[in-house]
A and B are shown apart, each in its own frame.
Chain A
Amino acid sequence: MSAADGGRILVVEDDDAVRTAVDRGLGVHGFDVSSVPDAESAMAVVARRRPDVMIVDIGLPGMSGIELCTRLRGLDVDTPILILSARDQVGDRVAGLQAGADDYVVKPFSLDELAARVHALLRRARPHAGATTALSAGPLWIDLDRRVATIGEIRLELSRREFDLVAVFAANPGIVLSRIRLLELVWGYDFDVDTNVVDVFVGYVRRKLEAAGVPRLIETVRGVGFVLRVE
């Protein structure tokens, strides 16, 4: 893989040793890496030049990683964000995903795993070229160009990753999609990965669909995955 393949990565991590190691490690993998020790500096870097993927530690001093996600999403920055979280920070991790992060990696992680996820997020971040611009499945209507999903007159307020998930379900109505397939289609993970991010996001989407008056549109098929039910 050449440096040309790599995207611009911004690492936000307060521990010097970890930050230096991640910076150097991702550099070896061909990414163009810059790193900062706190969220405030990260905001400043993003304002100057938007990175392609951000890697954000949850437990930052001052402004937390979660708050950073919230602020960036609030400023319509849709750069994919990968959260670094410890095993005992489950609540923080969920809050981070809710705040608009795309996925998380549990510390301690290996460099290869991190690099693979960053690659996948980069691939997904680039707009997919397709012939279709609109999809409809049951009560769901999706405009892929404008990235708008509606149910009847109600517009669903979806984060970027939630929208992608809904779009994948809408493109495959009535077809049971496994977690691995969803990770591949929505997150671009074509490698074995240990995460429950699919379940977390299906949960978020379900809650939003329910609020829009269509509960149980996405059903769990036990032991297999999920399916968008259309009559």
Chain B
Amino acid sequence: MRLATRTGLASFVAASITLLAVGALFRGYFATVLQERVDTQLEERAKTAPILAAVAERLAQSELRTTLEGARVVRDGETISLGLLPADPLPSRIVLGFSTARASGDRWRMYTVEVSDVPNPGDQALVQLVAPLGDVDARAMQLRRRVIFVMGLTSLAAGLVGYLLGKVATRPLNALRRDTARIEDAEPSTWRVGTAYGSNEVDDVAATLNENLQRLADETQRRGAALDAARAFASSATHELRTPLQSALINLDIARSDRIAEPDRIEVLGLANEQLQRMAASLSAVRALADAEFADQSWFDEIDLADVADAAVADERRRAPDATIEIDSPPPTTLIAWRDGVRLAIANLVRNALVHGVPVDGSAQRVVVSVAGATVTVDDNGPGVAPADRQRMLERFERGGGSGSGLGLAIAQQVAIAHGGSVVIGSSPLGGARVVMTLAQSSSSSP
């Protein structure tokens, strides 16, 4: 049931009860007043009781008999009826004072007095004066009908007013309800109801609602963004794996054919091998990236960053024996970190420098790794990265035109993020690119 209907009904019931009580009281009072007037008249008439008693017999025989007001006179056990009396008999037992009786469908009021010495000394008689209450009762009944009619109308009016007031009072609530309904199929960013509905209670509810909606919208958007990122990543990763697989498959098909010359077959097999290795590298890179993204706190322990960097550089020297990789041998630097992740990140930074840091003028390539505090810096003397491209280079599958997986810098960045740090690309004093990986700020120098 709507709130306005409730207030309407409540007003109707309240008005009905009040008016019923007032009406009943008023009608009772009115009936009493009317009857008291009759009684007063009867008492007035009682003053003539001795005369009536004296002339009762004669009056009963005169023509005046029917025009008189009703009375009964009892004398010597004989009752003389005079004037206007009911057709049906009144009670035969006569009581002194006031009494009421029902006869011929109406009520009758009676007042009885005792008179003595009339008409002869020593006589005793009872004189009863009778007045009809029919008029009084009819007027009371009429009044009652009027009261009920007016009461009904008034109650209905009260109900209507209550309904309208209720509508006005619930207008803020209804406005809020409409705003809330609108949210259902709206964009999360627009999930908001108003702030001023013209009622403090409703405004409080709206404020609470807005807070919760904001939280919900934020959460929905965060999840949506995470899902989009995951989808984009899955799609890119699939593409990265499918493309080398596709060319390897075709090259193997060609190699199987009996229509190609032996040197061609060897070349094609070499290509297929290269492409499968590219796939394998992409697979481990994707795996490393996923690991870095979900890095667990239990993987973290105390490491010597200089030592880890040294080991990573030694690995890369083995992989690329012709390259010159220098390391700025620093004092031991201990911090709480994810050892394998940091080592992989440094390895990727070095590999990145080896691939992209080839000097354009043909001079010897130099890659320098330096460790300071919780920061690892890798410099090269290659062509460098234009400032506009620096941020983009950190994104996944952004390969700077080389043959890498396009994930190296993304892995380093993800590892840095796992430590609460970051990766920044800049210009190196050597002339090429400088990549600075900062790990946690919570580093501590060794004693």
Residue positions of A touching B, CB distance < 8 A: 15, 17-18, 20-22, 24-25, 28-29, 59, 86, 88, 107-112
Contacts and interface: CB of A to CB of B under 8 A. Distances in A.
Contacts of A109: 246, 249
Contact of B242 (A25, A107, A110, A111): A107
Interface string B303-315: 0000000000000
Q: Which of B244, B246, B250, B260 has the most C-beta atoms of chain A within 10 angstroms of its own C-beta?
A: B250
Interface string B230-253: 000001001100111111011101
A107 B244 CA distance: 11
Contact of A21 (B242, B260, B271): B271
Which 8 residue pairs across A and B have the least CB separation, nearest first? A111-B253, A17-B247, A21-B250, A21-B247, A108-B246, A18-B247, A25-B250, A25-B254
Interface in B255-292: 257, 259-260, 268, 271, 275
A111 B250 CA distance: 5
A28 B275 CA distance: 20
20 contacts: A17-B244, A17-B275, A18-B246, A20-B271, A21-B246, A21-B247, A21-B251, A24-B250, A24-B268, A25-B250, A25-B253, A59-B239, A86-B242, A88-B238, A107-B246, A108-B242, A108-B245, A108-B246, A109-B246, A111-B250
B275 A110 contact: no
A28 B252 CA distance: 12
Nearest to B249: A108
Contacts of B250: 18, 21-22, 24-25, 110-111
Contacts of A112: 253
A203 to B, nearest CB: 26
A110 B238 contact: no
Nearest to A15: B243
A111 B254 contact: yes
Contacts of A28: 254, 257, 259-260
Contacts of A15: 243, 246-247
Contacts of A24: 250-251, 254, 268
A17 to B, nearest CB: 4
A86 B254 contact: no
Most chain A Cβ neighbours within 10 Å, of B245, B249, B259, B260: B249
B259 A110 contact: no
Nearest to B243: A15
Contacts of B242: 86, 107-108
Contact of B247 (A20, A59, A86): A20
A28 B258 CA distance: 9
Contacts of B243: 15, 17-18
Nearest to B253: A111
B267 to A, nearest CB: 10
A40 to B, nearest CB: 20
A15 B238 CA distance: 14
A59 B238 CA distance: 14
B254 A110 contact: no
Given A21-B251, A88-B238, 4 more contacts: A15-B243, A15-B247, A21-B254, A22-B250
Contacts of A107: 242, 246
A37 to B, nearest CB: 13
Contact of B238 (A22, A25, A86): A86
Nearest to A22: B250
Contacts of B249: 108-111
Nearest to B239: A86
A107 to B, nearest CB: 5
A60 B238 CA distance: 16
A123 B242 CA distance: 30
A33 to B, nearest CB: 12
Contacts of B271: 17, 20-21
A22 B268 CA distance: 12
A109 B249 CA distance: 8
Contacts of A110: 249-250, 253
A15 B251 CA distance: 14
Nearest to A114: B250
A188 to B, nearest CB: 22
A225 B249 CA distance: 33
Which of A15, A28, A59, A107 gathers the greatest number of chain B CB atoms within 10 Å?
A28
